[in-house]
C-alpha cells in the first residue's frame, strides 16, 4: 500500500470515529469547469445582497490559493435529519430542520479541529484548515468530485443513501492522499419535484437557483423589508425553507441523526403560532441562545413572522 493509500485509509477511519456519515477525497486543484458557471451566476445577480459570494473569486475556485501547499480536499457529510418534525401543519410557522438545535458551525467545527489533531497524531505534521459553510469553498462541487453524491436540480448535493438533509464540511490539507472517483452520473433523471414545488420559482433551471428569490435568502440573508411580490408565497417559513428537500424522492432514505446538540431546545418543541407571534426578545435569547437562528437577530425573525401573518390576514 502506497503512503497516499495509507493516508486515505487513516482519514476515512478518523471520519468514522468522529461520527461523519460519509468521507470522500479529492485532489486540491483549480475547479476549471466551475469558473464559467460561477461567473455567469454572479453576472445574473443571483447572489442578491450576498455580496460576499462575489469576493475571492480565485480562492473560491482554487483551494491552493486558500491554503498554500494544499494537496487534498477531504469532504465530509454530517447528518442533521430530525427524529420528528416540529409541528408542520399548513398553518404552522416553520423553521428549517437544520436550525432546530445548536448552530452547526460551532458543533462541526469542533469535530474538525479534533479531526486535524487526530490526523497529526497518526501521521505527523500536517498543515491545513477546516471549513463548515465558511470561507470561499465550493462545498457541493468538492463533495461531488470526492464521490459523495451529485448536484441535484435544487442545486444541493444529493446522496443515494441519505438524500440531502446533511451538512458538508471540509479539511484542506497539505497531505498527499489517494483521491476517490467523482460521481459522474446524475440520478435525478426526469424528476422535477423540487422545481415544481418551489413557491417563489427560485430554481431557474436544473441545478441553478436564483438566490435572491429563495425563501431561505429572504428570511435570513435579506436585511431590508421582504418585497411585497413574495406575499402569499412564503408558506409560513420564518427561518430558512425545506420545501425543495421535503419533496425530493431521495429524502425517503433520510434517517434520524445521532447528534445530541442538534435536538431542538425543549421550549421550541411545544411552540404554537401564538408563541411565535408574541415572542419577546428575552424568549428569543433563551430559546435560540446557541442556534443558527441568531443570524437573523430578534428584529429579523419578528419581521419574517409579521410578513407571514400579513400573508394570512
Give the residue numbers annotated as catalytic, written as ranges: 133
Q: Which three cell numbers stand for residue 103?
A: 448552530
The CA angle 293-294-297, to the nearest 5 degrees, is 110
- Asked if 67 contacts 175 with a C-beta cutoff of 8 angstroms, the reply is no
Distance CA 141, CA 270 (A): 38
**Contact residues for 182 (Cβ-Cβ < 8 A; gap 6+):** 26, 144, 145, 146, 147
Residue with cell 423589508: 225
**Helix 104-123, helix 3-17: angle, nearest 10:** 140
**Contact residues for 227 (Cβ-Cβ < 8 A; gap 6+):** none
Amino acid at each position: 500500500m502506497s503512503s497516499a493509500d495509507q493516508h486515505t485509509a487513516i482519514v476515512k477511519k478518523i471520519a468514522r470515529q468522529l461520527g461523519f456519515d460519509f468521507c470522500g477525497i479529492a485532489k486540491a486543484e483549480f475547479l476549471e469547469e466551475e469558473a464559467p458557471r460561477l461567473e455567469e451566476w454572479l453576472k445574473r445577480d443571483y447572489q442578491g445582497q450576498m455580496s460576499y459570494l462575489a469576493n475571492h473569486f480565485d480562492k473560491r475556485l482554487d483551494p491552493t490559493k486558500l491554503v498554500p501547499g494544499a494537496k487534498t480536499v477531504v469532504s465530509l457529510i454530517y447528518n442533521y435529519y430530525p427524529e420528528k418534525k416540529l409541528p408542520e401543519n399548513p398553518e404552522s410557522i416553520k423553521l428549517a430542520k437544520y436550525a432546530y438545535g445548536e448552530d452547526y458551525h460551532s458543533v462541526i467545527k469542533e469535530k474538525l479541529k479534533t479531526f486535524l489533531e487526530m490526523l497529526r497524531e497518526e501521521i505527523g505534521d500536517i498543515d491545513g484548515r477546516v471549513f463548515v459553510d465558511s470561507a470561499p469553498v465550493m462545498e457541493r462541487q468538492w463533495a461531488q468530485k470526492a464521490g459523495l453524491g451529485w448536484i441535484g436540480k435544487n442545486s444541493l448535493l444529493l446522496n443515494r443513501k441519505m438524500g440531502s438533509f446533511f451538512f458538508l464540511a471540509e479539511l484542506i490539507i497539505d497531505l498527499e492522499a489517494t483521491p476517490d472517483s467523482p460521481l459522474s452520473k446524475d440520478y435525478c433523471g426526469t424528476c422535477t419535484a423540487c422545481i415544481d414545488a418551489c413557491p417563489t420559482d427560485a430554481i431557474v433551471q436544473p441545478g441553478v437557483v436564483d438566490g435572491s428569490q429563495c425563501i431561505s435568502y429572504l428570511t435570513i440573508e435579506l436585511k431590508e423589508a421582504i418585497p411585497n411580490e413574495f406575499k402569499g408565497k412564503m408558506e409560513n417559513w420564518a427561518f430558512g425553507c425545506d420545501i425543495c428537500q421535503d419533496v425530493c424522492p431521495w429524502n425517503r432514505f433520510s434517517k434520524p441523526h445521532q447528534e445530541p446538540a442538534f435536538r431542538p431546545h425543549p421550549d421550541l418543541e411545544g411552540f404554537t403560532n401564538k408563541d411565535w407571534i408574541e415572542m419577546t426578545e428575552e424568549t428569543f435569547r433563551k430559546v435560540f441562545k446557541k442556534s443558527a437562528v441568531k443570524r437573523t437577530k430578534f428584529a429579523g425573525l419578528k419581521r419574517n413572522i409579521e410578513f407571514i401573518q400579513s400573508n394570512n390576514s
